[in-house]
Amino acid sequence: MEFPEMLRGDSLTRIIQGTLFGFILTAFIGFNYAGWTLEATAEKVANERVQAAIIAALTPICVEKFQAANDAKDSAAKLKATENWKQDKFIEQGGWATFAGADKVNLGVASACAKALQVVNK
């Protein structure tokens, strides 16, 4: 069986080159401008959004626990005296960023709680 003229010689080379160029161009446009993502990238973005939602939901509870404590005024003064970069550790050690059912402190919540308390206690 003989191939048609367009699939022989230079024509076959040009078809293969065109197909390859079209594939590369389609992938470039798809991933950079059309919103295509790989599964790993989509999972990473989803996890970041979940963490942001958790922090947004738990920060007000942390602030309320801090303000409802018996020694809230003393703690507020100590927090204010603590250096900014250590305030999340202060919140963590005070237990205000620990919630029922959690086996460890969410550091994002502790940091956001410290920042919120700076605004509230001004």
Total structural domains within the chain: 2
Contact present, 69 and 100 (Cβ < 8 Å): no
pLDDT at 99: 86
Residue with tokens 């230079």: 10
Task: Determine which helix (DSSP H) or strand (DSSP E) holds 114, and give its type and residue range.
Answer: helix 107-120
Strands in 22-108 per DSSP E: none
Residues 32 and 46 in one domain: no
d(CA 68, CA 84): 22
pLDDT in tens, the chain (122 residues): 676 776 666 777 888 888 999 999 999 999 999 999 999 999 999 999 999 999 999 999 999 999 999 998 999 999 999 998 999 999 999 989 988 888 888 899 999 999 999 887 76
* Rounded distance between C-alpha atoms, residue 94 and residue 82, angstroms: 13
Same domain (yes/no): 85, 51: yes
pTM (predicted TM-score)? 0.70
Pair (115, 68) in one structural domain = yes
Please tell me the predicted confidence (pLDDT) of residue 39: 94
Domain containing 1 equals 1-36
What is residue 32's predicted lDDT score, i.e. its pLDDT? 92
Residues 15, 47, single domain; the answer is: no
pLDDT of res. 9: 65
Are 107 and 88 contained in the same domain?
A: yes
Are 25 and 64 contained in the same domain? no
> 106: which residues sit within 8 A by CB, 6+ positions away?
54, 55, 58, 97, 99
- Type of residue at 50: V
Q: Specify whether 7 is located in the same domain as 63.
A: no
Q: Let me know whether 73 and 102 are in one domain.
A: yes
Q: Are residues 50 and 99 in the same domain?
A: yes
Q: Do 29 and 45 reside in the same domain of the chain? A: no
Q: Which pair of structure tokens corresponds to residue 30?
A: 């798809």
Q: Are residues 53 and 74 in the same domain?
A: yes
CB atoms within 10 A of CB 29: 11
Pure H helices in 7-120 = 10-32, 39-68, 72-81, 87-94, 107-120
Residue 18's pLDDT is: 87
* 9 and 56 inside one domain: no
